[in-house]
């Protein structure tokens, strides 16, 4: 006798066979909710992520650096839009998602609550923050939800320049004066640990991970991704002649990976809960930008309405 499979079991089989789930396919409600939460948080991170870097657009040291930074920040706005669109295919309402961010109800990557006091920070963000984001996003190119996976493919294609421009900035600084090299080292000191925290809590403290892995939303665990990132990044730091701020960092021949010190998770949870240096500043900036764009949105609506009326009249 063959057992009648429940919808959820059939869904799991479908996903296990590496099939992509598309917008109108049946999916468990929790799968939908998990995805809306994850994709919208991802979108918010892209949008808020523009702020620390935008800080330096007007003060970029050369025109070459300035056009690159402008293009990068513009990409991030675009990435936010791809992701909001992907969330909408699941039935989420764009304005409701944006409102949650502006009201401080939605989360975004805690890394963007750190300040960017020096030009070297723009280099460190591109190299480390975008580097960590890319590691996560390359994995998400194979996520089980079709629209999310496709948005990720597009984003990954565009992001590789982000990381290269960041590394190039640091490379230029370390080949410069003693003061410039010091500036580069200082920014690595400040961005290293927060970058490692970007992958989220350790696997044993990440309660939703198991289900996300089972549904193939996530394809690698937080710790796996973090380890990959460290292994890839340490030689890049060595090439720059910079020191990673971790006295316990050491290649482990047996494991084939680097060992490192414990991450300060207290700091991570503090920043998430609003106690980071820039949480308030970021939210204020988002709200200000949204309020100041109101007249543009209204004008666009009025214009669209008038155009529609004109075409109706000329047709009559």
Q: Residue 66 gets which letter from DSSP?
A: H
At residue 283, what are phi and psi to the nearest 5 degrees? Answer: -65, -40
Do residues 76 and 108 make contact, with C-beta atoms less than 8 angstroms apart?
Answer: no
Out of 75, 203, 223, 270, which residue is the one contacting another protein (CB under 8 A)?
75
Sign of CA dihedral 168, 113, 38, 204: positive
Cα–Cα distance between 130 and 68 in angstroms, integer?
14
For residues 156 to 175, the per-residue mask of contacts with another protein, x marking binding by CB under 8 A and - elsewhere, is --x-----------------
Cα–Cα distance between 200 and 226 in angstroms, integer?
9
Out of 5, 67, 153, 304, which residue is the one contacting another protein (CB under 8 A)?
304
DSSP β-bridge partners for residue 145: 21
Nearer to another protein, 88 or 224 (CB): 88
Cα–Cα distance between 292 and 298 in angstroms, integer?
11
Regarding 102 and contact with another protein (CB under 8 A), the answer is: no
Regarding 312 and contact with another protein (CB under 8 A), the answer is: no
Closest approach of Cβ 88 to another protein, in Å? 7
Out of 160, 252, 261, 301, which residue is the one contacting another protein (CB under 8 A)?
301
Regarding 294 and contact with another protein (CB under 8 A), the answer is: yes
Sole window of 59-67, 115-123, 189-197, 291-299 interacting with another protein (rule: CB under 8 A): 291-299
Number of residues in contact with another protein under rule CB under 8 A: 29
For residues 30 to 69, the per-residue mask of contacts with another protein, x marking binding by CB under 8 A and - elsewhere, is ----------------------------------------
Q: Which long-range contacts (CB under 8 A, 24 or more apart) does 202-209 make?
A: 202/263, 202/265, 205/265, 208/34
Regarding 24 and contact with another protein (CB under 8 A), the answer is: yes
At residue 55, what are phi and psi to the nearest 5 degrees? Answer: -50, -30
Out of 54, 60, 70, 81, which residue is the one contacting another protein (CB under 8 A)?
81
Sole window of 45-53, 72-80, 168-176, 268-276 interacting with another protein (rule: CB under 8 A): 72-80
Cα–Cα distance between 232 and 171 in angstroms, integer?
17
Which residues 6+ apart lie within 8 Å of 181 measured at CB? 173, 174, 241
Cα–Cα distance between 266 and 126 in angstroms, integer?
25
Sole window of 78-86, 191-199, 213-221, 222-230 interacting with another protein (rule: CB under 8 A): 78-86
Closest approach of Cβ 311 to another protein, in Å? 10
Nearer to another protein, 82 or 215 (CB): 82
Nearer to another protein, 120 or 151 (CB): 151
Regarding 151 and contact with another protein (CB under 8 A), the answer is: yes
Residue 224, number of CB atoms within 10 A of its CB: 15
Q: Is 208 helix (H, G, I), strand (E, B) or coil?
A: coil
Q: Is 217 helix (H, G, I), strand (E, B) or coil?
A: coil
Q: Is 21 helix (H, G, I), strand (E, B) or coil?
A: strand
Out of 264, 307, 309, 310, which residue is the one contacting another protein (CB under 8 A)?
307
Chain contacts with another protein (rule: CB under 8 A): 22, 24-26, 71, 74-75, 78, 81-82, 85, 88-89, 94-95, 150-151, 154, 158, 294, 297-298, 300-301, 303-305, 307-308
């Amino acid at each position: 006798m063959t057992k009648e499979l429940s919808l959820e079991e059939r869904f799991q089989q479908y996903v296990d066979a590496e099939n992509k789930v598309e917008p109108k396919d049946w999916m468990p409600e929790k799968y939908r909710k998990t995805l809306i939460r994850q994709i919208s948080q991802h979108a918010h991170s892209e949008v808020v992520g523009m702020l620390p870097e935008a800080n330096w657009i007007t003060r970029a040291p050369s025109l070459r650096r300035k056009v690159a930074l402008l293009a990068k920040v513009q990409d991030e706005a675009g990435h936010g839009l791809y992701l909001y669109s992907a969330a909408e295919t699941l039935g989420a309402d764009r304005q409701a998602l944006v409102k949650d961010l502006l009201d401080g109800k939605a989360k975004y990557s805690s890394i963007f609550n750190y300040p960017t006091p020096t030009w070297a920070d723009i280099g460190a963000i591109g190299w480390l923050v975008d580097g960590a984001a890319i590691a996560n996003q390359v994995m998400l190119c194979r996520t089980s939800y079709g629209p999310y996976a496709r948005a990720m493919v597009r984003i990954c294609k565009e992001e590789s320049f982000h990381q290269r421009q960041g590394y190039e900035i640091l490379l230029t600084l370390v080949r410069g004066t003693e003061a410039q090299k010091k500036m580069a080292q200082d920014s690595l000191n400040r961005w290293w640990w927060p970058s490692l925290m970007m992958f989220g809590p350790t696997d044993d403290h990440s309660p939703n991970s198991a289900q996300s892995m089972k549904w193939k939303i996530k394809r690698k665990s937080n710790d796996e991704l973090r380890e990959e990132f460290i292994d890839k990044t340490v030689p890049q730091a060595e090439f720059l002649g910079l020191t990673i701020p971790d006295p316990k960092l050491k290649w482990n021949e047996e494991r084939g990976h680097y060992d490192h010190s414990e991450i300060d998770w207290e700091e991570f949870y503090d920043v998430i809960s609003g106690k980071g240096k820039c949480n308030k500043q970021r939210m204020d900036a988002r709200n200000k930008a949204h309020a100041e764009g109101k007249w543009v949105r209204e004008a666009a609506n009025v214009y669209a309405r008038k155009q529609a009326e004109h075409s109706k009249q000329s047709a009559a």
